[in-house]
Structure 1
Amino acid sequence: MKTSIPRHLPAGTRTVPVTRNQAGRLALARGAERWRKPPCSFGLRLQGEVNPDLLEEVLTHVARRHTALRTTFPDYEPSGSGLLLPTDQVHWNLTRVDLRGIPQPARQRAEDAAFRKVQEPFAPDEFPLFRGSLLRYEEDYVLTVAVDHMVFDGESIQVFLGEFGRFYQQLACGSTADLADDGGGSDFGEFSAFECDWLQSPEAGDALVHWKSVWDGFGPFPPTRIPVRDVEGSGALWRQSLPADVVHARRRRFSGGYLSLPAFAAAAVLAALRDMTGQTEGGVLHPSSRRFTDATQGMIGYLNNRTLLRADTPLGADLYQIAAITRAAMVDALEHQMMPFEVLLDHFAPQLRNRRPDRPYIHLNVQASPVLPSLPGLNASLFWPPQSSALQDIPWISVDLEDGREHMVLTAGYSTGKFEPDLVSELMARVAGHLTG
């Protein structure tokens, strides 16, 4: 249920600072376009004796221990702050949908509706900025979690699952030890304060100099030269499984030093773009972690940054020559990744502030598969909810490479209203070919 925070606040509510990237998302959501990014969503498929009330209790404990999940952003608060509510105001209520005995196609419609509902964008002044659903089938359950990007990023998923498993083990066994909600969790406000101080440092000045040369005449949204269109469309997902050992073996053949999987994947994407378009200078936006300390390693919040990778892709260069360029660009950027993307917009592209991207681009995300929690009495597997509704309105191609033990999953999410499916399929087939040889 959507709830706005009244001006008469519960005792213990306090104002907290926001990061510059959070402030940018707030301005976009409150601006003329009123654009809200779909939430970060993930889930678990559960087999065994599932207790929905226990799941709600576990989720509530996780949310109470991390300040980011207790924060909301009412319109009457300044754009540089949010409200942190006390723990007793936080409760996680699951929407429960029983699909047993429902024949097709009615079951499919009910399932699709449930996934669309849980992945609806949040308004910043809603509380809480998370929701969940529990779908029951004949043989198993699917638990889906959705959290607004204002308070959550991709790396928060692993922290969340770890906390979920720890609390589930304790509560399922009847233990109440270490369940205090007011200690032991993470305080995102500490990161916000650190960023504020860092922006006044000499390192921030050095970072501006570095990123000016990268953005100049190119950023922040790197061109693809892939033909685009403006028609009615829907969200679509291209997907292919790749043998992990083959990809890693090909990556290790690079002779210029250690080549990370993100740098290798970026080279594959840029080589594919060059092959399709003849473009000899390419780029992608990719997330970069700002979890530099032990405290941030276990923090839930929106810490990730968007980073522009710009690289020459000469027509005669092979994949490993391009990989040397992407590797060098990523290494050069390492000491400057703390600089918020929104600050760079203010300095180098102020005309794009509080606006959606003005041209299509590729967003590349490379991550390891999250480690599953151990849940006594249950068999759990990772579940990614279908995102066709979430992808319908995005003006970019979201390329993801998930690194599992035996297989990697390469996907491309996009809107058919912007991109011709055959062109996306051709691009991604080329990317897969570069990764596997």
Structure 2
Amino acid sequence: MDIHAIVEQASASGVYLYVEGDKLKYKAQQGGLPDTLRAQLKAHKTEVIAYLKSGDDRSTQGAIPAVTARGDNAPAPLSYAQRRLWLVDQVIGASALYNMPLAWRLRGRVDSAALLKSLNILTMRHGSMRTRFDRVGDEPVQYIDAAPAPPVFEVIDTTAQVEAQCRAERNHAFNLAGEGLCRIRVLRDREDSDRHGSDSLVLLVTMHHCVSDAWSLGIFIRELFACYSELCRTQAPPELAPLAFQYTDYASWQRQYLGPDIWREDLAYWKHQLRDLPAQLSLACDRPRSETPSYRGATISAVIDPSLTAQLQRLSQNSQASLYMTLLAAFSLLLSRHAGQDDICVGSPIANRDQPGTEALIGFFVNTLVLRTRFDDDCDVPTLLARTRETVLEAFDHQQLPFEALVDELSPTRTMNITPLFQAMFVMQNIPIEEEALPGVELTPMPVAPGEGMARFDLTLTVQQGLRGLDIDLEYSCDLFEADWAEGLLAHYQQLLAAMVATPERRLSQLAMLSDVERYRQIVLWNDSGEAALENPARHQEPTIVA
């Protein structure tokens, strides 16, 4: 009997096989293990265990060689993640949807020559910042330019013009058919310089997501500040640790050594985990979903104060969960309540830098996990956190499968206006960008996506630890939602978090999501009619809430 065929049959039947110690175990849907499959597994148990273990052996005992430099600058294939974004670009055309902008204001005694030299050092160090795409036949390839494009340096008269330039740069699309995928501009703000009596420069760096991710932006800032500080101190270039290889080497390695044989167990897990997914997240939209989305988006922000943050951390610890798991569970519950669905899928990115040497590279390594939560039994908060913990840890254990390969394998119905597998994203940024003290320079990160921007998903909730507690950004699709709806959703999220720490023993359906004012409006005002209401107008006045 072909053992591979048995494992594939199990996967197709929604059965996830795995080995624990020397025992063969499985997880299955409510229908359980089919009798014929059970008999096959029983008859060939030893061979199946050996087969499943062989997948682990390949990844953990060195059968997959380490990533190494190729030794030349020949065109390299696109990584799986890059190819997905390239295909998106082929469908929707040039777009700023996957721009990754970064903006910092430098005010004080700024050494412009040292800054420009530092930028050139980093551009030569990281091939991703000099990468272009091309075609060989029908296949896209990437290669690294020998020399970087010099940063554009401009003097701008007014701060308003600088801000307009920031917006224009953020929204300027890359041409993936030959253009370099990194742009650098340095703007001298003459008005701000005169106002403060010192130099005032704005550094704008925009990379396409095909060559960068959030981790990469942290690398860029840390190394830029280190270069600048050393050049100002000694006039000599800094000694940065050498890179073992470039991203093009990683992409070639991934295409050569990672494939179905390596992903076999991961694919079986995800097929089981994502079987019978709901067609989409059915939120009540302010506008009908267009067949051709514009991807216009906007972002609103809020802060979870240090007191509630500390309570959330204690709740997480008491449930043996991480803060990430607790915040994810609350977001899934929020979506369940708003959509009226008890089966919620949320996407969440992971760094995916498990290969030695990748942690120091600028490049597109991030992978996306699909995290599914069911709310069909109205459990309490500790039970929800325990289930979320199990879901997240299992997903992390099976993160090697690229999201792109998962979508291809599951083949969900594809349309332009609905992203496959999930429509809401949860992001927790835990990549610290250390506060650097540059000689004589005050550094201020500038918001690069205020107000209207781009939205890749219906909703994206991003949480980051800040000095004031937890900083929350909610990005929403302007094609679907109005600003007041998004503001209400974000307020409900904060209310749910407060309810989870205040009354964790309650059933999820009993956790308060509305503020006192909203509850009064919905229960009293909107349900009150008739003469009694007219006779007592005071009943229609919203109460004063004492903080």
**TM-score interval, smaller chain:** 0.7 to 0.9
2:439 corresponds to 1:376:
yes
Give the 3 Å change call, closer, same or farther, for CA 126–373 of structure 1 in structure 2.
farther
Deviation readout 1:212-257 (Å, 9 max, x if unpaired): 12332327x8524332524899532211112245224323224665
Deviations 1:172-209 (A, max 9, x none): 2343345699x547511342244235523744101111
CA distance in 1, matches of 2:117, 2:247: 23
Residue 167, structure 1, aligned to residue 230, structure 2: no
Note if contact 1:244-1:403 (Cα within 8 Å) is conserved in structure 2: no
* 1:399 CA displacement: 1.1
Q: Please say which of residues 420-429 and 27-36 is displaced more in the overlay.
A: 27-36
Task: After TM superposition, list the pairs within 5 Å mapping 1:18-97 onto structure 2.
Answer: 18-31=78-91, 37-76=97-136, 79-86=139-146, 89-97=147-155
| Amino acid in structure 2 at the alignment position of 1:376 | P
Counterpart Cα distance in 2 of 1:421 and 1:83: 42
Matched length: 415
Asked if structure 2 preserves the Cα contact closer than 8 Å seen for 1:397 and 1:412, the reply is: yes
Partner of 1:7: none
The match for 2:185 among 114, 133, 150 is: 133
Q: CA deviation at 1:279?
A: 1.7
Give matches, 1:81-230, under 5 Å.
81-86=141-146, 89-99=147-157, 102=158, 108=160, 111-135=163-187, 136=189, 137-138=192-193, 139=196, 140-178=200-238, 183-184=242-243, 186-200=245-259, 202-218=261-277, 223-227=281-285, 229-230=287-288
Counterpart contact for 2:283–2:338, Cα < 8 Å: no
CA contact (8 A) 2:463 2:470 kept: yes
Measure the CA separation in 2 of the matches of 1:187 and 1:129.
15
State whether residues 306 and 468 of structure 2, in contact with CA within 8 Å, keep that contact through their aligned partners in structure 1. Answer: yes
Deviation per CA, 1:94-139: give whole Å up to 9, x if none: 353524xx4xxxx536523432224422121344211233342233
Q: 1:387 to 1:411 in 2, by over 3 A?
A: same
* Structure label with greater radius of gyration: 2
TM-aligned CA distance change 1:245 to 1:52, over 3 Å: farther
Alpha-carbon separation, structure 2, partners of 1:353 and 1:67:
35
How far is the alpha carbon of 1:62 from its aligned partner?
0.8
Q: TM-score, normalised by structure 1?
A: 0.84
Taking a change above 3 Å as real, the CA distance of residues 291 and 133 of structure 1, as seen in their structure-2 partners, is same
Q: How far apart, CA to CA, are the structure 1 residues paired with 2:434 and 2:80?
A: 30
Give the aligned residue type for 2:274.
Answer: W
Q: Is the Cα–Cα contact under 8 Å of residues 41 and 147 in structure 1 kept in the other structure?
A: yes
Q: Does 1:408 align with 2:470?
A: yes
Is the contact between residue 214 and residue 308 of structure 1 (CA under 8 Å) also seen in structure 2?
Answer: no
Would you say the 8 A contact 2:349–2:427 is kept in 1?
A: yes
Distance 1:30 1:64 in 2: 29
For residue 168 of structure 1, report the CA deviation from its aligned partner.
Answer: 0.8
The unaligned stretches of length 5 or more in structure 1 are: 1-11
Distance in 2 between the 1:310 and 1:129 partners? 34
Compute the displacement of 1:283 (Å): 1.8
Matched, 1:390 2:442: no
Q: CA deviation at 1:394?
A: 3.8
Alpha-carbon separation, structure 2, partners of 1:72 and 1:166: 27
Decide whether the 8 Å contact of 1:21 with 1:342 is kept in 2: yes
Q: Distance in 2 between matches of 1:410 and 1:196?
A: 37
Change (3 A) 1:159 1:410: same
Q: CA 1:180 to 1:297, structure 2 compared with 1: closer, same or farther past 3 Å?
A: closer
AA matched with 1:227: C
The whole-number CA distance in structure 2 between the counterparts of 1:287 and 1:376 is 36
In 1, Cα distance between equivalents of 2:93 and 2:237: 48
Q: Is the 8 A contact 1:38 1:120 kept in 2?
A: no
* Inter-partner Cα distance in structure 2 for 1:71 and 1:408: 35
1:316-364 deviation per Cα after TM superposition (whole angstroms, max 9, x unaligned): 3344432222221110011211211111111112653998726982111
Distance 1:277 1:293, change over 3 A: same
For 1:4, the equivalent position in structure 2 comes to: none
SS at match of 1:31: helix
Output the amino acid matched with 2:276: G
1:303-314 alignment, distance < 5 Å? 303-314=365-376
Worse overlay, 417-426 or 350-359 = 350-359
Determine the C-alpha separation between the residues in 1 that align with 2:366 and 2:311.
29
Measured at CA, do residues 376 and 184 of structure 1 come closer, stay the same or move farther in structure 2, by a change above 3 Å? farther
In 1: Cα distance, 2:411 partner to 2:354 partner: 27
Structure 2 spans left out of the alignment, 5+ residues: 1-71, 500-547
Cα RMSD (Å): 3.0
Query: Deviations for 1:258-316, whole angstroms, at most 9, x for unmatched residues?
Result: 32222112111111122323321112111012111441111110000111111112463
AA paired with 2:114? Answer: L
What pairs with 1:269-308 in structure 2 (closer than 5 Å)?
269-308=331-370
Is the contact made by 1:156 and 1:299 (CA closer than 8 Å) also made in structure 2?
Answer: yes
For residues 396 and 296 of structure 1, do their structure 2 counterparts lie closer, same or farther at Cα, with a shift above 3 Å needed? same
Asked if 1:265 corresponds to 2:323, the answer is: no
Separation (CA, whole Å) in 2 of partners of 1:108 and 1:315 = 54
